[in-house]
């Protein structure tokens, strides 16, 4: 359905910040929930943050107070603002679309892209 391209990753020092944009194709962007996920080496992919079509948000406990998800429907783009980064945040970050948000989780997710690498290290 929706094709997504993540960008904005890179190497950042602990305590630093990054802003990840995810650009989506398709004319129906505004009706989808959007989420950011991450996968560290040797670990399962996990949901980091989700924003519903109406704008409500949910966050993983590990990033609450540090990360902010937002969307700009006019630009077909979802963002993840990451502040106070920790080495534990190092992972490949992916965005994806979903049909709905249920108890803070996305349902009906689409295909996965290549993601963008975030490395937090001194």
50: how many CB neighbours lie within 10 A of its CB? 23
Name the pLDDT band for 33 (thresholds 50, 70, 90).
very high
For the stretch 42-90, pLDDT in tens is 999 999 999 999 999 999 999 999 999 999 999 999 999 999 999 999 9
* Half-sphere exposure of residue 37: CA atoms within 13 angstroms, side-chain side: 23
Mean pLDDT of the chain: 95
**What is the pLDDT at residue 28?**
86
| pLDDT for the residue numbered 27 | 76
pLDDT of amino acid 26: 77
Could you tell me where the beta strands, DSSP code E, fall in the chain?
Answer: 4-6, 10-12, 18-24, 33-39, 46-51, 57-59, 67-72, 77-82, 91-98, 100-102, 105-107, 116-120
Question: Is the model's pLDDT at 117 over the cut of 90?
Answer: yes
Residue 2: is its pLDDT beyond 90? no
At residue 58's C-alpha, the angle toward residues 55 and 63, to 5°, is 130
Distance of CA 83 to the CA centre of its chain: 14
């Amino acid at each position: 359905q929706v094709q997504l391209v993540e960008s904005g990753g890179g190497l950042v020092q602990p305590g630093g910040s990054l802003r990840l944009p995810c650009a989506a194709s398709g004319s129906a962007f505004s009706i989808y929930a959007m989420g950011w996920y991450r996968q560290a080496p040797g670990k399962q992919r996990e949901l980091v943050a989700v924003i519903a079509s109406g704008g409500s948000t949910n966050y993983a406990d590990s990033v609450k107070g540090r990360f902010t998800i937002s969307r700009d429907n006019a630009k077909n783009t979802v963002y993840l603002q990451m502040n106070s980064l920790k080495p534990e945040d190092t992972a490949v970050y992916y965005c994806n679309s979903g049909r709905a948000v249920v108890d803070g989780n996305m349902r009906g997710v689409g295909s996965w892209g290549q993601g963008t690498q975030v490395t937090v290290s001194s």
